[in-house]
Amino acid sequence: MNKIVYLTPHFAVTGALQPEDFPGVAAQGFKSILSNLPDGESSKYPSSSEEAGLAGGAGLAFRHVPATKSDVFSDRVVEGVGRAVTELKGPVLAHCASGLRSALAWAGAAARSQPADCVLATLQRAGFDLAAIRDELEEQHGRNHPAAIPAALDCHCEEGRRLEA
C-alpha cells in the first residue's frame, strides 16, 4: 500500500489503491474511500465500479469524484468533494494516482469556507508545499460553501469560523 498522509484527523490522501489494499484501509480505521481517479486513466488501477465493490466488501463506504489536472478546481470536483466529506462517515481516505490531485481537490473544498493561507498551512504541515495554488484557493473562498465546516475539511482556522458565525 502507498503511504497515507493525513491532512486533518478525519481526512487523508494516498496514491492509487489496489484490490488487496481495501481490507488494510479498513483495518487502519478508515470508514470511507473517496476516489478522485478517473476511470480509464490507467489499466493498472481498478475502475470506480470495481473499487465500489472492493470497498463494500471491506465494510467501507465509497464515493467517486474523478478529477483531472485541468478540472481539479472546477465546481464539479470541489463541490463533489465537499458533498462527499459531508455525507461520508470519517475518517475518509481519498486517492488518485499519487495523492496530489486528492490533496488539491480537498484544498479547493476547504478553501470555500476557510482562508487560503490557513488551508496552505494545513497542506504544508502534511508535507505538501503548494503555495503556488494560493490564487486558485483564494478564488474558491466564499463560493457555495456549507453552513458548517465538515470535520474532514476543518483546518482549525479561527478566521474561517468567524465567517461562519
Tell me which residue has cell 503548494.
130
Residue 161 clears pLDDT 50, i.e. is over it: no
CATH number at residue 28: 3.90.190.10
Query: How much is the CA Rg of the chain, to the nearest whole Å?
Result: 15
In degrees, rounded to 5, the angle at the alpha carbon of residue 43 between the alpha carbons of residues 66 and 78 is: 10
pLDDT tens track for 52-68: 999 999 999 999 999 99
Contact predicate 11/153, CB 8 Å: yes
Instruction: Provide the domain count of the chain.
Output: 1
Contact predicate 8/18, CB 8 Å: no
In degrees, rounded to 5, the angle at the alpha carbon of residue 131 between the alpha carbons of residues 154 and 112 is: 35
pLDDT tens track for 118-128: 999 999 999 99
DSSP string, 91-153: SEEEESSSSHHHHHHHHHHHHTTS-HHHHHHHHHHTT---GGGHHHHHHHTTSS--SS--GGG
Residue 66's domain comprises 5-164
Outline where DSSP puts E strands in 32-112.
32-35, 61-64, 92-95
Q: State the pLDDT at residue 145.
A: 67
Range with lowest mean pLDDT among 40-49, 83-92, 141-150 = 141-150
